[in-house]
Amino acid sequence: MEDSYRQILQGINEDPTREGLLKTPARAAASMKELTSGYDQDLETVINGALFKAETDGMVIVKDIECYSLCEHHLLPFTGKVHVAYVPDKHILGLSKVARVVEMYARRLQTQERLTQQICDALEEVLQPKGIGVIIEANHFCMMMRGVQKQHSIAITSSVKGLIKKDPKTREEFLKLIS
């Protein structure tokens, strides 16, 4: 990977042997490995048995989870917040595990649409809740720094299932509580 970064530097007419760039290929390779570390994780390991008997049927929400990912089309970052809600059936999940599931999928080359769906599907698989919803609000550097160059645009994606999708009151509660 370091050789590839050296070639990229040469491709933009930079000298990878100049002082400021000598270690850049190694740093860039290490950075890319960290930013895509989600490929080395799996759902079972991330959850690590943190399922507990549900003693409530009230909605559980973890909102404003910071999210950093790389757009698979341009390899530029997109950043934002993820909001997750579910209505338990038999289990609840340790709250930090919700954020860890977000992180696992965000640390892969992504589209925001797929990331939203993957988080929702994974948590549905683990929890088998009565309902689940995931909303992501993000700024995309591929829209901000290049192309259309719109610095203040926000993309919003959602995936909802079960009660949150089918029951208008439950959906309204979800949307009200995350706003």
Instruction: Point out the catalytic residue in the list 2, 117, 128, 142.
Output: 142
The b/e string for 127-151 (b: 16+ C-beta within 10 A; e otherwise) is: bebbbbbbbbbbbbbbbbeeeeeee
Judge whether 120 counts as a catalytic residue: no
Instruction: Point out the catalytic residue in the list 2, 14, 41, 74.
Output: 74
Instruction: Point out the catalytic residue in the list 112, 118, 120, 137.
Output: 112
Judge whether 140 counts as a catalytic residue: yes
Judge whether 113 counts as a catalytic residue: no
Instruction: Point out the catalytic residue in the list 67, 71, 110, 173.
Output: 71
The values of phi and psi at residue 80, to 5°, are 180, -155
Instruction: Point out the catalytic residue in the list 72, 113, 125, 172.
Output: 72
Instruction: Point out the catalytic residue in the list 7, 10, 66, 73.
Output: 73
Judge whether 103 counts as a catalytic residue: no
Q: Where are the beta strands (DSSP E) in 37-154?
A: 51-53, 60-71, 77-87, 91-93, 109-110, 131-140
Instruction: Point out the catalytic residue in the list 110, 118, 137, 140.
Output: 140
Judge whether 91 counts as a catalytic residue: no
**Among all residues, which ones are annotated catalytic?**
71-74, 112, 140, 142
